[in-house]
Amino acid sequence: MAETIIPASILLFLVLVLFFIYDLIRQKRGWLNRGLQIVFGFYLLRVVDETIGSIHLSPQETAINVQLIPFQFVGDIFSYEIGSFLFFNAIRISFYNVLLLAPLGVFLFLFGWRKGRRVLPLVFLVSLTIELLQLLLSAFGFIWPRVFDSDDLILNTAGGLVGFYSVKGVYHFIQRFR
């Protein structure tokens, strides 16, 4: 029996195409806003591709991996010899986790979210949704085994806030000189 694999980003792409067609028919948005939404859609496709990957329609072996110890990534970084491959790999993985949702913070600001206290819970919920999807899809064998990692929640949320406050700072800096 042949295994059927569908990239999760393809499924999201079809949903986004339907949304954009519906939005074009309504004609309620300007071209700049619509262009920003299209870029945001491509960003979402990349996030889904990086975090979920491909969906196996014939389920694979199941595995449930959970790491609930917060800030374990700090211990991982310093448990390796400085300069070794594992040391730099731990830093790289942590950096990529911060980088994953940084654009989300930028997009939230550009879409009109101006208060950090409203952005924090949303970015955290997006990160939690990603982790729960990875856990559930792994548990039922629809994706390769992934880890539900509390450090990912921390680093992803921090990344979203870094993106939000970076663009907010640039915006306020530009406003001073107008």
Residue whose structure tokens are 């969906």: 55
- 71: left (phi > 0), else alpha (psi -120 to 50), else beta? left
What does the pLDDT read at residue 108?
A: 96
Tell me what pLDDT residue 29 has: 67
pLDDT digits (tens, 9 = 90+) for 158-178: 999 999 999 999 999 999 987
pLDDT at 34: 80
Report in angstroms the alpha-carbon separations of 84 from 78, 105, 120: 11, 33, 35
For residue 26 the two structure tokens come to 């309504």
pLDDT in tens, 8-57: 878 888 888 888 788 777 776 677 788 888 889 889 989 998 999 888 87
Q: 104 pLDDT exceeds 70?
A: yes
User: What does the alpha-carbon distance between residue 145 and residue 61 come to, in Å, rounded to a whole number?
Assistant: 8
pTM, two decimal places: 0.86
The model's pLDDT over 113-154, given as tens digits with 9 standing for 90+, comes to: 999 899 999 999 999 999 999 999 988 888 888 889 999 999
Retrieve residue 78's tokens.
């310093």
